[in-house]
């Protein structure tokens, strides 16, 4: 049987291609979502079905063809056509593209879209705030649990309240609605469950180059201890960060590790936990210097300051103030599979870390010594840094 998969554009006849309109007129039977069947009941048998398996089952038992399957938007843009191509093997399937919501919406806004990050958060779990956080321009389909107003509140919570958004509802219909404003301004508004949005972030989280290892001199330091560049690079490699990781940096100091993690996890979140007031001021300065909106500063001492944080994927322990065992216990209560990296300088901390990390999955213990050069007139002298132990391992899920 001949089957047309017809991209219906925004859903109204005005956004149909001439080819799609001719195919609809040639089909005695039309199948699709009730919204798309509106206006086509005269002269057609209309069968309201949405799930691909239901549509394929109906076509398998249908009589005379051709059958037209009406699909919203474009057949190649988050469309049910993808599943139907497999389910309808054995039929003569002709696919007719339509105008996508991305193309229509950007045209209505008078904007291009060739450099836009495209995301679908409609009916699926997706870190949409994280995508907006790390891209200059993001287009998203929303719906189900992903509501525009919730996204706006999350952006504001991440310090991204000034990100500008355009939200479109009922596109192409007489009651079409397009609203614009900052995330902070739209956080208390209400939007339809099915909506599209375009977000512009003037300061996305971006690493200045592809590898970790920012120079120590790039950070504001003061008198606060800082994880030095050579040790920091090794610690970051052992953390095995992913773009959307949730990271705790406990005993963050100046925030050198926090900033590096934030740059390595542009779609994730980093929580820098620090109890020293002087360090907290430097943390804030370094956060602003690198525009890491995904970095949240948490004043307080661990483990108490960790109680309210979301479960971590990765944890860096740069300073534990004798609370290493209690901190690890809380980490693995929050996420039994978390990966943890700890630095140690004193023999007492080395001994405790060796005991506690020995039971972790993939436990690894490395001692690092680095020597830098410094100028003394026309000579260069060796300036040895403190040896540092690096402990790493993962919990058991």
Instruction: Express each pLDDT in 338-370 by its tens digit.
Output: 999 999 999 999 999 999 999 899 999 999 888
Same structural domain for residues 230 and 322?
yes
- Per the domain annotation, does 207 fall within a domain? no
211 in any annotated domain: no
Residue 124 has pLDDT above 70, yes or no: no
Q: 9-22, pLDDT tens digit by residue?
A: 998 888 999 999 99
Average pLDDT on 282-297 reads 90
Q: Is residue 291 part of a domain?
A: yes
Phi, psi of 35 (to 5 degrees): -60, -40
Mean pLDDT of 201-211: 82
Q: Is the pLDDT of residue 123 over 60?
A: no
Same domain for 145 and 257?
A: no
Domain presence at residue 85: yes
Of 146-150, 168-172, 232-236, the poorest mean pLDDT is in: 146-150
184: domain CATH number is 3.30.950.10
Residue 208 inside a domain? The answer is no
Q: Are residues 360 and 259 in the same domain?
A: yes
> How far is residue 306 from each of residues 134, 230, 240, 273, 341, measured CA to CA in Å?
25, 28, 21, 8, 16
User: Of 99, 131, 153, which marks where a domain is finished?
Assistant: 99
Residue 209 falls inside a structural domain? no
- Residue 277 maps to a domain: yes
Final residue of a structural domain among 99, 121, 144: 99
The number of folded domains in the chain is 3
Burial readout 75-91 (b: 16 or more C-beta within 10 A, e: otherwise): bebbbbbeebeebbeeb
- CA separation, residue 41 to residues 21, 34, 60, 67 (Å): 14, 11, 22, 14
Whole-Å CA distances, 144 to 124, 190, 193? 8, 14, 6
* Residues above pLDDT 70, as percent of the chain: 98
153 and 17 within one domain: no
Per-residue confidence band for 125, with pLDDT thresholds at 50, 70 and 90: low
259's enclosing H/E stretch is: helix 256-264
Residue 249 pLDDT grade (very low, low, confident, very high; cuts 50, 70, 90): very high
Are 69 and 119 part of one and the same domain? no
Residues 83 and 152 in one domain: no
User: Same domain for 94 and 163?
Assistant: no
Average pLDDT over residues 199-223: 85
Residue 29 inside a domain? The answer is yes
**Averaged pLDDT, 96-116:** 96
Query: Which of residues 200, 225, 252 is at a domain's end?
Result: 200
CATH number of the CATH domain containing 268: 3.40.50.150
Question: Distance (Å, rounded) from C-alpha 367 to C-alpha 348?
Answer: 15
The overall average pLDDT reported for the chain is 91
Distance CA 207, CA 197 (A): 26
Does 109 lie in the same domain as 91? no
- For 190, counting Cβ atoms within 10 Å of its Cβ (0-12 exposed, 13-18 middle, 19+ buried), the class is exposed
Residue 298, domain extent: 216-394
Residues 106 and 235 in one domain: no
Q: Are residues 78 and 126 in the same domain?
A: no
The whole model's pTM is what? 0.75
Alpha-carbon distance of 362 to 36, in angstroms, equals 54
Confidence label for 126 from pLDDT (cuts 50, 70 and 90): low
Same domain, 336 and 375: yes
Q: Clarify whether residues 364 and 266 are in a common domain.
A: yes
């Amino acid at each position: 049987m001949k089957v047309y998969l017809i991209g219906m554009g925004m859903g109204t006849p005005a956004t149909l291609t001439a080819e799609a309109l001719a195919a609809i007129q040639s089909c005695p039977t039309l199948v699709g979502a009730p919204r798309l069947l509106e206006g086509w009941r005269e002269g057609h048998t209309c069968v309201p079905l949405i799930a691909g398996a239901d549509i394929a089952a109906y076509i398998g038992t249908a009589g005379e063809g051709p059958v037209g399957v009406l699909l919203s938007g474009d057949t190649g843009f988050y469309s049910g056509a993808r599943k139907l191509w497999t389910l309808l093997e054995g039929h003569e399937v002709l696919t007719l593209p339509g105008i996508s919501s991305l193309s229509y919406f950007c045209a209505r806004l008078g904007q291009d879209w060739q450099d836009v990050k495209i995301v679908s958060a409609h009916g699926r779990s997706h870190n949409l705030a994280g995508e907006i956080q790390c891209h200059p321009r993001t287009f998203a389909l929303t719906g189900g649990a992903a509501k525009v107003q919730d996204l706006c509140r999350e952006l504001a919570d991440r310090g991204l309240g000034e990100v500008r958004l355009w939200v479109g509802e009922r596109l192409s219909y007489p009651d079409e609605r397009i609203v614009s404003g900052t995330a902070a301004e739209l956080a208390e508004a209400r939007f339809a469950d099915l909506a599209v949005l375009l977000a512009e972030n003037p300061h996305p989280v971006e690493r200045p180059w592809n590898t970790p290892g920012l120079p120590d001199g790039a950070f504001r330091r003061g008198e606060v201890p800082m994880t030095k560049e050579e040790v920091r690079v090794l610690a970051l490699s052992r953390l095995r960060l992913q773009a959307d990781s949730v990271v705790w940096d406990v005993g963050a100091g100046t925030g050198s590790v926090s900033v590096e993690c934030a740059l390595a996890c542009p779609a994730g979140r980093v929580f820098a936990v620090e109890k020293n007031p002087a360090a907290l001021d430097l943390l804030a300065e370094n956060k602003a210097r690198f525009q890491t909106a995904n970095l949240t500063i948490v004043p307080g001492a661990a483990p108490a300051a960790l109680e309210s944080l979301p479960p971590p994927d990765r944890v860096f322990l740069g300073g534990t103030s004798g609370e290493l065992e209690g901190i690890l216990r809380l980490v693995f209560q929050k996420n039994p599979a978390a990966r943890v990296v700890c630095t140690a300088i004193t023999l007492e901390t080395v001994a405790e870390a060796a005991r506690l990390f020995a039971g972790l999955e993939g436990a690894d213990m490395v001692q690092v010594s680095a020597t830098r050069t410094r100028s003394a007139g026309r000579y260069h002298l060796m300036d040895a840094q403190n040896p540092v132990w690096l402990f790493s391992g993962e919990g058991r899920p």
